[in-house]
Amino acid sequence: MDLLIRPFKPEDYPEVAKIYHAGIDTQIATFETEAPDFEAWNLRFCKVCRLVAQFDNEIAGWAALSLVSKRQVYHGVAEVTVYVAPQHQGKKIGFQLLEALIQASEQEGFWTLTAHIFPQNKASIHVHQKLGFRLLGIHEKIAKRNGKWQDNALLERRSTKIL
């Protein structure tokens, strides 16, 4: 397997958006119903810790962080986002992307990472737990998707390197 995990470049966005849209189509990856344009995506995610996974010169997945709060006291806390293209799922790319994102986040001074995952997305929850995230609980009926209330599992990982 020829997998390269590297920093995201703006020219990667068309492929990132396709992967994001494929995740939206599953209806268990996000509350979003449309992939944003690059400007909106760029504002949503931190400028650091944006990664893509290239598999045989094709973008197979991406990962990024978004701040949980703009308050200075929470500057080291971020939410993780990881997506893998449907044709590349089952190849441990999500695991490797999340592992690289954790390492990059610690290098940038993040001490806590969170994840909000639909409970039906058992594969994603499993990958997060294998990498040290713990389930804190379920946000019941936290938001609607297509007019239907959905729950979200809340997971958290505290860095062992930033004490």
Alpha helix locations (H) across the chain?
13-26, 38-44, 93-107, 122-130
Residue range 20-40: mean pLDDT, rounded: 94
What's the confidence (pLDDT) of residue 156? Answer: 98
Domains of the chain: 3-113 (3.40.630.30)
pLDDT for residue 163 is more than 90: no
Tell me the residue ranges of DSSP E strands in the chain: 3-7, 51-55, 58-67, 77-84, 112-117, 134-145, 148-158
Q: What mean pLDDT, rounded, does the chain reach?
A: 96
pTM value? Answer: 0.95
Percent of the chain residues past pLDDT 70, beyond the cut: 99
What's the confidence (pLDDT) of residue 1? Answer: 57
What's the confidence (pLDDT) of residue 127? Answer: 97
What's the confidence (pLDDT) of residue 60? Answer: 97
**Three-class SS state of 106:** helix
